[in-house]
């Protein structure tokens, strides 16, 4: 079964004014679709085509060498966007419960976490993503949430980290509305984070 785009649980204009409808339409309909088409092409006729994309990207080093770059770029692009759409949503309420406890324990406060996340989003030179990740199951005694950036379409899964939240900082994600103002886009992002979904991933980590 070739991969296909997951259905969005909200309309293109649901994240306005923070992420505009035209950007959503092009980002999902064109950019994401292209990653999807290209990973299908790259894996066609191989046993990997039958596996979940998470498993493929986690095991990048086992992919035949002539396909590895295509899988890293397009498989990563397909997977990262699948993930991104789920952690976005209208009417963001902020984190609570165990997730908020972990954020406070790891970063000092929610505000300090946001500052660090925005800083890694800004310091990613060129295209890439900002991520909130965990290394295995988080506990008060053992575990730290981390904010990192990764270039291009690299996935935290490839280096054994579990993604909880991400922000696409490729220019295609914000240029129509924000032009070169990535910092403004990164700040606006907090208005459209689906923290219930982040918490669900945190609990499952
Ligand atoms: Mn993108």
pLDDT at 33: 98
How distant is the alpha carbon of residue 101 from its chain centre? 22
Tens digit of pLDDT for each residue in 1-10?
799 999 999 9
Average pLDDT over residues 61-70: 96
Determine the pLDDT at residue 135: 85
Taking only the tens place, the pLDDT of each residue in 161-172 is 999 999 999 999
pLDDT computed for residue 188 by the predictor: 98
Residue 139 scores a pLDDT above 80? no
CATH dotted code for 21-86: 1.10.287.990
Fold equal for 21-86 and 97-204: no
CA of residue 143 to ligand 1 center, whole Å = 30
pLDDT digits (tens, 9 = 90+) for 151-200: 999 999 999 999 999 999 999 999 999 999 999 999 999 999 999 999 99
Instruction: Locate the domains of the chain by residue range.
Output: 21-86, 97-204
- Alpha carbon of 173 to ligand 1 centroid (Å): 5
Mean pLDDT, rounded, of the chain:
95
Q: Give the DSSP H/E element, type plus range, for residue 26.
A: helix 21-26
> How would residue 62 be classed by pLDDT, with cut points 50, 70 and 90?
very high
Q: In what order do the strands lie in the sheet with 145-151?
A: 145-151, 128-134, 162-168
103, 34 contact by CB (below 8 A): no
pLDDT tops 80 at residue 37:
yes
**What spacing in Å lies between the alpha carbon of 142 and ligand 1's midpoint?**
33
149 pLDDT higher than 90? yes
Q: pTM for this one?
A: 0.96
The answer to whether 121 touches 182, Cβ cutoff 8 Å, is yes
DSSP 10-72: S-TTTTTTTS-HHHHHHIIIIIIHHHHHHHHHHHTTSGGGGS-HHHHHHTGGGS-HHHHHHII
Mean per-residue pLDDT for 47-65? 96
**Whole-number Å distance between alpha carbons of 38 and 96:** 38
CA of 7 to the centre of ligand 1 (A): 16
Domain 97-204 annotated CATH 3.55.40.20 = yes
Confidence (pLDDT) at 204: 85
Q: What pLDDT sits at residue 92?
A: 86
Output the CA 64–ligand 1 centroid distance in Å: 26
Å from CA of 107 to ligand 1 middle: 27
């Amino acid at each position: 079964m070739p991969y296909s785009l997951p259905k969005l649980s909200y309309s293109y204009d649901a994240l306005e004014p923070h992420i505009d409808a035209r950007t959503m339409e092009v980002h999902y309909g064109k950019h994401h679709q292209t990653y999807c088409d290209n990973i299908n092409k790259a894996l066609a006729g191989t046993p990997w085509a039958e596996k979940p994309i998470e498993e493929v990207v986690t095991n990048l080093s086992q992919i035949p060498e002539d396909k590895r770059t295509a899988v890293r770029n397009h498989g990563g692009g397909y997977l990262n966007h699948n993930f991104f759409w789920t952690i976005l949503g209208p009417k963001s309420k902020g984190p609570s419960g165990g997730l908020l406890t972990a954020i406070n324990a790891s970063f000092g406060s929610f505000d300090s976490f946001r500052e660090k996340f925005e800083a890694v989003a800004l310091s990613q030179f060129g295209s890439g993503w900002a991520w909130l990740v965990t290394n295995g199951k988080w506990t008060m005694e053992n575990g730290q949430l981390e904010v990192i950036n990764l270039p291009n379409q690299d996935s935290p899964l490839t280096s054994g980290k579990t993604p909880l939240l991400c922000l696409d900082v490729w220019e295609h994600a914000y240029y129509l509305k924000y032009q070169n103002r990535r910092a403004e886009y990164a700040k606006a992002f907090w208005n459209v984070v689906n923290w219930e979904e982040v918490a669900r991933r945190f609990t499952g980590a």
